[in-house]
Structure 1
């Protein structure tokens, strides 16, 4: 399957108490996705559910998670959850304006 390729970088800035991070390097990895994640973020923004930062976190996290589920659909870890998740995705996509 053809996929868009992404480099994901997560940098820990501070702990829950506001203290500087003990992690000296960002976590970085490359991953593929069947969707254009940037386009998905823009479409979800048009729904108006969240502010821009929350929308980006929600949409990117959702796309990363859903791609893992798709690529590992036979994994028993997802057996009970996947029908509910895919129903949620159908409802979400109904409310997203097309490009």
Structure 2
């Protein structure tokens, strides 16, 4: 079942220029909120970077899958797939364990 999302990106501080905003709808084969929770449980990144990493990875991964026949993405498929398998295989650990 595809999951549907609305993504919003808003500049918060960019000097004197007018702040820009981007909003777009997207579909993903995974529940991105669940992915964020699973990555957070592994404590592979600081807590304040987990959502940023997970959302970026899932948005990029979905585009890569949609365009897997494009030579631009073909080279990355195996490498990104191996990275994701390695990430999934990591054991859950507490944030204290991650610092040790």
Q: TM-score range by the shorter chain?
A: 0.7 to 0.9
Compute the TM-score of the two structures, normalised by the length of structure 1.
Answer: 0.84
Q: Which 5+ residue runs of structure 1 have no aligned equivalent?
A: none
Would you say how many aligned residue pairs link Structure 1 and Structure 2?
92
Paired position in structure 1 for 2:96: none
- The structure richer in helix per residue is 2
Q: Which 5+ residue runs of structure 2 have no aligned equivalent?
A: 93-100
| 1:23-42 matches, cutoff 5 A | 23=19, 25-42=20-37
Q: 1:68 pairs with 53, 63, 72, which one?
A: 63
TM-superposed deviation, 1:52: 2.4
TM-superposed deviation, 1:81: 1.6
CA distance in 1, matches of 2:85, 2:7: 26
CA distance in 1, matches of 2:75, 2:40: 30
Compute the TM-score of the two structures, normalised by the length of structure 2.
Answer: 0.83
Paired position in structure 1 for 2:2: 3
TM-superposed deviation, 1:83: 1.0
**Deviations 1:15-73 (CA, angstroms, capped at 9, x unpaired):** 3xxx25523x4100000001000000000001112222200000010000001111111
| 1:67-86 matches, cutoff 5 A | 67-86=62-81
**Pair 96,39 (structure 1): closer, same or farther in 2 beyond 3 Å:** farther
